[in-house]
Structure 1
Amino acid sequence: MNELLIDLGNSRLKYAEVQNGVVLRAFAVNHGDGDWRNILARGLADLARPERVRVAAVAHELVTQAALASIQEIWPGIALTRVTAETHAGALRSAVNEPKRLGVDRFLTALVAAKTTRDTLIIGCGTALTADFVDASGLHHGGWIAPGPETMRAAVLARAARVHWLREGKVQDFATNTENALESGAWHATAGFAERAIRTAEAQCAGNLQVWLHGGGAETLAGLLIQPVTLQRDLVFQGLLLLDR
């Protein structure tokens, strides 16, 4: 089957062309850009018409509806499905009290982890920071949500009248100017979130914990951690593909 998978996050829209369960190629569009719908339309127009489109969306509903409209304009009558979180799927069972309110991205990444039959901590680093623990039996214990590093920085700039961003900052042990202090504070706070999540998950398993990082900031975060971690790309796409198996 030829299909298109859409991962519509808080900042970016990623789409993947899939043939018989294999991702052939993937693309990304920043939907904060004013011309993002035209960029998306041009990209989709270069693809063969898929048999179906499946969408995992956590973006604002206005953005989601705009993306769906663009898809339907390119391919009128296309079979289009919006995926939502479920209590049970594949090897995954959820302990979350309100599974329908669980972000579909977190649900899909937990689904991938459950298939490994290993204790797994999944840390997402993007607009939001997320941590989700899935044990070796496939039980999703739940997780945490916090602001991502860019969101932290933006919050300080919005609320602190005398803090200004005049140039790019960089991460230092102890920063010597405002921009570096903001960048360092946000990223060290992110690393602290990850390290605390790892310790909390380790306390609930037999010592064979695997830690996955994903999202736009995953590589930077990995460089700040002393614990062994694995960078995972396209986890949401992997989860969407598992729903068919």
Structure 2
Amino acid sequence: MTASIKLLIEIGNSKLKAAQLHLDAKGGVTGMHYIGSYSVTSFCYRPNREKIGNVDQIIYSNVGDRKNYQHVKALSKKLKIRYQQITSPAQAFGVTNSYDAPTKLGIDRWLAFLAAYKDANGPVVVIDIGTAMTVDVVDGGGMHLGGWISPGFRLMNLALTEHTALVRAGGHHGDELTMGTNTKACVQNGSRAALAGTVLYAIQKAKSMFTDHEEPTLYLTGGGINHLPPEIVKLGLNRPHLVLEGLILYVK
């Protein structure tokens, strides 16, 4: 057996993230190299072979359109390699899915809290902020205790701008969460405050579900983390590629 490189792909609601996973001759992981974020069609039909490298397998997850399966299949044909799609199981790697219909749990959520639990080796609260904001709690025994799904930063802004006549949003914001002095700032900071409040209440709620000696570790992931004020980000571990880390566990 020789050293090899796997192509890890996380397909979200709006974009695709990809990384190389390097394995030694014994199959041990020697490192993960993040390739970047792309539209699904551009990455699959116009692959940058120099960036992708000499990979021998695609391992991917998909929470977007079902048609993405065909796009990944097309990519595998272009690269002349096999591919494997990961879906949410009832139980794996010492973690138990709380859903009655396990495959209905978003695979991004499963992979994120699976990776966090294996990393912490104990109870975790995992918050992923992208198009949607998801919260998941896993206890010290690996039992998923459930979670929440709410709009992410962009969807909150869109809900206001599309359903009100005079409200506008957009532009950049600073790190500090302040009181706005114009409508755009009020919308942006109101959405940021909602995200921050969800994080704080999730921590409080999780602690109430555990015994006194269990202290959950907070993991933050997703591109929307940059909308949280710094003092909230400091409460947890910022792991931007947690879903990709979860895919590593499925590499054989």
TM-score tier, shorter chain, comes to 0.7 to 0.9
- Show CA shifts across 1:18-55 (max 9, x none): 121344421223428xxx61697242454334221111
Which residue of 123, 127, 134 maps to 1:130?
Answer: 134
Superposition RMSD in Å = 2.4
Q: Equivalent of 1:163, from 167, 170, 175?
A: 167
- Aligned residues of 1:113 and 1:134 also touching (Cα < 8 A): no
Identity %: 26
Partner amino acid for 1:217? G
Aligned-pair distance for 1:173?
Answer: 2.6
The 1:181/1:30 distance shift into structure 2, 3 A limit, reads farther
Q: Is the 8 A contact 1:213 1:222 kept in 2?
A: no
Q: Deviations over 1:200-230 (max 9, x none)?
A: 0011123412101000022442515287211
Counting matched residue pairs gives 240
Distance 2:170 2:103 in 1: 42
**Cα 1:129/1:166, change in 2 over 3 Å:** closer
- Letter aligned with residue 48 of structure 2: G
Does the 8 Å contact 1:90/1:243 carry over to 2?
A: no
2:203 maps to 1:198: yes
Give the AA of the match of 2:39. Answer: H
Moved over 3 A (4+): 44-49, 165-172
Q: For 2:61 and 2:122, locate their aligned partners in 1 and report how far apart those are by CA, in whole Å.
A: 25
TM-score (norm 1): 0.88
The AA in structure 2 aligned to 1:117 is N
Inter-CA distance 149–242: structure 2 relative to 1 (3 Å threshold):
same
Partner Cα distance (1:226, 1:69) in 2? 37
CA gap of 1:201–1:80, structure 2 versus 1, over 3 A, is same
Distance 1:82 1:95 in 2: 21
Residue 100 in 1 paired to residue 103 in 2? yes
Q: Is the 8 A contact 1:168 1:179 kept in 2?
A: no
Q: Which runs of 5+ in 1 are unaligned?
A: none
Consecutive unaligned residues in structure 2, runs of 5 or more: 24-28
Change (3 A) 1:229 1:125: same
CA contact (8 A) 1:15 1:28 kept: yes
Q: 2:44, 2:71 within 8 Å by CA — same for their partners in 1?
A: no
Match of 1:110 in 2: 113
The answer for the alignment partner of 1:26 in structure 2 is: 34
CA spacing shift, 1:161–1:209, aligned 2, 3 Å = same
